[in-house]
């Protein structure tokens, strides 16, 4: 499988990264190089093999479902690019 310039634009859009106009060709080359390299995985027989989603082989405990934190509004807002009167201020998203 290989990607085209249009694919790169589509991926950038999906990833919410502004179209890297001057680097599209470079990215096509780099991504195709990587995908070609990754294609060697097709040599591996994975018939009947379960996908591994975590390296943890042991039962993990579940904590009690209770509120253990809170009342930290100012801490939550401390790093906001913009906030006012205890709220995040974000660009208009509903027309």
Partner 1 sequence: MSDLLKHTLSDITAKLKAREVSATELATEALSASKAAQDKLNAFTAFDEDKTLVMAAASDERLAKGEGGMLEGAPLAIKDLFAVEGVSTTASSNILKGFKPTYESTVTQKMWDQGGVFLAKTSMDEFAMGSSNETANTGPVINPWKGTTDGNLTPGGSSGGSASALAADLCFGSTGTDTGGSIRQPASFTGTVGVKGTYGRTSRWGVVAFASSLDHPGPFGKTVKDSAMLLQAMSGHDAKDSTSLPNDVPDFVAAVGKSVKGLKIGVPKEYRIDAMPEEIAKMWDQGVEWLKAAGCEIVDISLPHTKYALPAYYIVAPAEASSNLARYDGMRFGIREDGEDLQAVYENTRAAGFGEEVQRRIMIGTYVLSAGYYDAYYLKAQKVRTRILQDFDAAYKQVDAILTPSAPSAAFTNGSKSNDPIEMYLNDVFTVTANLAGVPAMSVPAGLDKNGLPLGLQIITRALDEETMFSVGAAIEDAAGFTAKPEKWW
- The residues binding partner 1 (CB under 8 A) are 1, 3, 7-8, 11-20, 23, 27, 30-31, 33-34, 37-38, 40-44, 46, 49-58, 60-61, 63, 72, 75-76, 78-82, 88, 90-93
**DSSP strand E in the chain: where?**
83-84, 87-88
CB atoms within 10 A of CB 62: 6
Closer Cβ to partner 1, 25 or 90, answer by number: 90
Helices and strands of the chain, counted as H and E runs: 3, 2
Q: What's the distance, CA 23 to chain centroid?
A: 21
Minimum CB separation from partner 1 for residue 92, in Å?
7
Task: Report in angstroms how near the CB of residue 86 gets to partner 1 at its nearest.
Answer: 14
Q: Which is nearer to partner 1, 43 or 85 (CB)?
A: 43
């Amino acid at each position: 499988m290989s990607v085209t310039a249009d694919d790169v634009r589509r991926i950038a859009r999906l990833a919410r990264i502004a179209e890297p106009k001057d680097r599209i060709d470079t990215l096509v080359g780099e991504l195709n190089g990587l995908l070609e390299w990754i294609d060697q995985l097709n040599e591996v027989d994975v018939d009947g093999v379960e996908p591994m989603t975590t390296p943890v082989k042991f039962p993990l405990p579940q904590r009690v479902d209770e509120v253990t934190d809170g009342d930290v509004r100012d801490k939550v807002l401390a790093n906001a690019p913009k906030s006012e009167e205890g709220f995040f201020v974000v660009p208009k998203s509903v027309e």
